[in-house]
Amino acid sequence: MSIPLISVPSPRFHEARLVLHVLLPLSQETLSLSIVLAGVLTHATAAHPTLRSRLLAKGEAHGGTVVAFATMRHALVDLAFIASAPAGLDIESGTLAAILSLLRETLCAPLLVHGTFDEAIVKQEVAIAKSALHRRAEDKGSLALHEAHEFFAPSADPLGTLEDFDLLTPERLTRFYAEAFAQASFYAEALGAFPPAVMEGFLASLPFSGKELPGVESFYDLEVPSPCPCREKTVRDNLSQSWLVSSYRVPVTSLSPERTILSVALSLLGGSYSSLLFHRIREEKGLCYTISASPYGSDPAFFIMTGLQKKDIPCAEREIARALADVAQGAFTDELLASTKQSLDSDFLSLADHLASSDFFQTRSFIRRTPCTLESTRQALSDVTREDIARLMAHATCEAVYRLEEES
């Protein structure tokens, strides 16, 4: 089947961007391999075998770039290749052709040595992937968040795992490249000033025949979780500040119809200056600088996270429990509900001004096979009621509390 193209032409953007999504069923190993593969493919091609020659090619394309990222999205691994260029260019200038040529090489003509990826390049990309894990461990807030998430047996670690990276060989990665591109589903977005007809021609010339997207229905039709005992862990370290992360399971993923209700609930809890947690724990009690409530990526879970002094943790835990109980009982003011919905509505409208809007709306449409538009999203938000929020949050069960405390 041909690669579907979503085109959002707008002459007002200063950037033209073509994004090719290579979608694969989610597994930890697939994600770990994709992270390294993205680096290897953007490192060297047969035509530009060194980073320097690729740099010069980008310079000749007036600062256009070709990059790749592997991320976990909605029960899928999304290996995205992004070619972008400053606007004000037309195809006659050669810049567009140069960037598309670099993208084609990146996708289809990697540098191979005796049929496999170069060992030194693979080794380097593995080192880079491991560095990202080390950086996370050094950012204490991110570390606490990750450790709390681990209690849930999450879909996958978004940064990959040391075990996968240690087992990775050039031969394994080369096989994965061939298998992944043969089995993936593809779709593309042409955004900004890229001419759609040129993009269609480019996509038609790629040697890929995408497969049907794997079913992800089970990812958004979820059972209400059975309550299970909350697990707690406390770690002490040589720190100036402690971190408290509490994690909750809730029957909503990033693709669930109820996702908008969860967004409103979490925003009420910790998404604004008026939110219950920010107001009570930071503004009234002065216990913390940062506090927030957010979903755990695509997983059916959310977390509440704050940085504070160890002595204040018990008080913060009580206030968090009280705020959650209030939301689950619908005990919040009309004004807070109205301003929260208005802020989210403003966010959706603003998103429509960004190139990322296509990614937000169209990716959901493509994966769910039902339209997701700005209008339908705003309508869903408008329909959210106090009762919806209370009903959903009554199903939230605290499954983990992780405390990273400063040593006395």
Partner 1 sequence: MMNTDDLTRLWTTTLSSGMKVAFYTVPEAHEGCADLNVAFGAKDRTLETLLLPAGTAHFLEHKTFTREDGSDAALAFDALGLAVNAQTGYDATEYFFSGATHLKEGLALLLGFVLGTPRFTKENVDRERAIISQEIAMYEDDPASALSNGLMRRLFRHYYYIDDIAGTQDGIKAVTPELLAHVHEVAYVPANMTLTLHGAPEAFGFASKEELRTGLESLLPSGFSPRAVPSMVTYTPDEGRGFGHATRRFNVNDPLVIFGARMDVSRLDALTRERQAVLLASLMGSLYGFASPLAGSLRDEGIVLGAMSFSCEEDEHYLVPCLTARSPRPAEARKRIEQAWKALDASTLDRPAIAAHQAIQAGSMIRERDSALDNAMSMASRLSLGLPPLARVRDLEEMSEHDLQELLSWVQAAPTAFYTLLPRS
Site residues, partner 1 (CB under 8 A): 12-15, 50-52, 54-56, 58-65, 84-89, 120, 124, 127-128, 130-132, 134-135, 137-141, 237-241, 272-274, 282-283, 286-290, 307-309, 335, 339, 342-343, 345-347, 349-350, 352-355
In the complex, minimum distance from the CB of residue 312 to partner 1, in angstroms, rounded to a whole number: 9
Report in angstroms how near the CB of residue 289 gets to partner 1 at its nearest.
4
Nearer to partner 1, 273 or 408 (CB): 273
Q: At its nearest, how many Å lie between partner 1 and the CB of residue 267?
A: 10
Nearer to partner 1, 128 or 380 (CB): 128
Task: State in angstroms the smallest separation of the CB of 242 from partner 1.
Answer: 9
Q: For every residue of 110-178, which 3-state class applies, written as one string?
A: ECEECCEECHHHHHHHHHHHHHHHHHHHHCHHHHHHHHHHHCCCCCCCCCCCHHHHHHCCHHHHHHHHH
- As measured in angstroms, the least distance from the Cβ of 371 to partner 1 is 20
**Which among 299, 154, 152, 303 has a CA at the least distance from the CA of 220?**
299
In the bound complex, what is the minimum distance in angstroms from residue 375's beta carbon to partner 1? 13
- Distance between CA atoms of residues 389 and 327, nearest Å: 7
Q: Which residue number, 188 or 288, has a Cβ lying nearer to partner 1?
A: 288
Residue 293 Cβ vs partner 1, minimum distance, rounded to whole Å: 15
Q: Which is nearer to partner 1, 185 or 358 (CB)?
A: 358
Cα 115 to Cα 117: distance, rounded to the nearest angstrom: 7
Looking at the Cβ atoms of 218 and 240, the one nearer to partner 1 is 240
Nearer to partner 1, 169 or 357 (CB): 357
Shortest separation between residue 90's beta carbon and partner 1, angstroms: 11
What are the φ/ψ torsions at residue 83 (nearest 5 degrees)? -110, 125
Q: What are the tokens at 5?
A: 């193209």
CB of 305 to partner 1, least distance (A): 12
Torsions phi, psi for 255 (to 5 deg): -105, -5
The smaller minimum CB distance to partner 1, of residues 151 and 348, is found at: 348
Is there a contact between 307 and 241 (Cβ–Cβ < 8 Å)? yes
269/367 with CB nearer partner 1:
269
15 or 29: CB nearest partner 1:
15
